[in-house]
Structure 1
Amino acid sequence: MSRSLAYHLLDVFTDRRFSGNPLAVVEDADGVDASTLQAVAREFNLSETVFLLAPRDPVMTARIRIFTPTQELPFAGHPTIGAAALLAETRGLDALTRNGLVVALESDVGALRCDALRGRSGVTYAELRFPGTPRPLGPTPSREALAAALTLAPADIGFEADCGAHVPSVYAAGPAFVFVPVASRAALDRARPVAGAFGAVLGALPGAYLYTPETIDPAAAIHARMFAHGLGFEEDPATGAAAVAFAAVAQAFERPEEGEHELFIEQGHAMGRPSRITLRLWIAEGALAGVAIGGQAVRVGEGRLRI
Structure 2
Amino acid sequence: MSRFDFRQVDVFSAEPLRGNPVAVVHDAESIAEPDLAAFARWTNLSETTFLLPPTTPAADYRVRILTPGAELPFAGHPTLGTAHAWLEAGGVPREDREIVQECGVGLVRVRRGADRLAFAAPELLRSGPVDAADLARIAAGLRLRVGDLQDAQWIDNGPGWVGVLLADADAVLRVRPDPVALGDLAVGIAGIYPEGECAIEVRAFVGGIGVDEDPVTGSLNAGLAQWLAGGLLPASYVASQGTVLQRRGRVHIDTDEDGTIWVGGETVTTISGTLSLPDPIRRPVSIG
Q: Distance in 1 between matches of 2:196 and 2:125?
A: 27
> Could you tell me how far 1:132 is from its partner in structure 2?
3.3
Tell me the distance in 1 between the aligned counterparts of 2:211 and 2:154. Answer: 21
- Aligned match of 1:276 in 250, 254, 269? 250
The aligned residue for residue 114 of structure 1 is 110
Secondary structure (helix, strand or coil) at the match of 1:210 reads strand
Greater mean alpha carbon deviation, residues 76-85 or residues 33-42: 33-42
Structure 2 counterpart of 1:11: 10
Alignment partner of 2:236 out of 251, 262, 283: 262
Counterpart contact for 1:7–1:24, Cα < 8 Å:
yes
TM-score, normalised relative to structure 1:
0.81
- Counterpart for residue 227 of structure 1: 205
Assess if the C-alpha contact under 8 Å between 1:28 and 1:51 holds in 2: yes
Worse overlay, 52-61 or 41-50: 52-61
C-alpha offsets along residues 117-161 of structure 1, whole Å, 9 cap, x if unaligned?
Answer: 344xxxxx1111234356415644555443322122444321xxx
- Contact kept? 1:267, 1:275, Cα under 8 Å: yes
State the percentage of identical aligned residues: 32
Aligned to 1:192: 176
The residue identity in structure 2 corresponding to 1:212 is G
Contact kept? 1:88, 1:116, Cα under 8 Å: no
**Conserved? CA contact 1:134–1:244, under 8 Å:** no
Partner of 2:187: 208
Query: Partner of 1:219: helix, strand, or coil?
Result: coil
Structure 1 residue 283: Cα displacement: 7.2
- The 8 Å contact of residues 178 and 208 in structure 1, kept in 2 or not, is answered as yes
Q: Counterparts of 2:152 and 2:126 in 1: how far apart (Å)?
A: 15
Q: Which of residues 123, 126, 137 is equivalent to 1:132? A: 123
For the residues of structure 2 that align with 1:213 and 1:6, how far apart are their CA atoms? 41
Q: Distance in 2 between matches of 1:301 and 1:283?
A: 38
Q: Tell me which residue corresponds to 2:283.
A: none
Residue among 257, 260, 265 paired with 1:290: 260
Give the conservation status (yes or no) of the 8 Å contact 2:121–2:223: no
State the one-letter code of the partner of 1:152. Answer: L
8 Å CA contact 1:74–1:108 kept in 2: the answer is yes
Unaligned segments of structure 1, at least 5 residues: 120-124, 159-166
Deviation of 1:291 (Å) = 2.3
Deviates most, 143-152 or 34-43: 143-152
Q: Cα distance, 1:22 vs. partner?
A: 0.8
AA of the residue aligned to 1:291 = I
SS of aligned partner of 1:232? coil
Residues matched between the structures, number: 275
Q: Map residues 18-57 of structure 1 onto 2, 5 A cutoff.
A: 18-57=17-56
C-alpha displacement at 1:240, in angstroms?
A: 0.8
After superposition, the Cα gap between the structure-2 partners of 1:150 and 1:241, relative to the gap in structure 1 and judged at 3 Å, is same
Structure 2: 5+ residue stretches without partners? 278-288
Cα distance in structure 1, aligned partners of 2:164 and 2:102:
31
Residue 170 of structure 1: SS of its match in structure 2?
strand
Deviations along 1:254-301, one digit per CA (max 9) or x if unpaired, are 397xxxx212111001101110111223577xxxx4322111101101
Identify which range, 132-141 or 41-50, moves more after superposition.
132-141
Contact 1:60–1:104 under 8 Å retained in 2: yes
The DSSP-based 3-state class of the residue aligned with 2:236 is: strand
| Cα distance between partner residues in 1 of 2:34 and 2:171 | 40
Which of 90, 94, 101 pairs up with 2:97?
101
2-structure distance, mates of 1:7, 1:292: 27
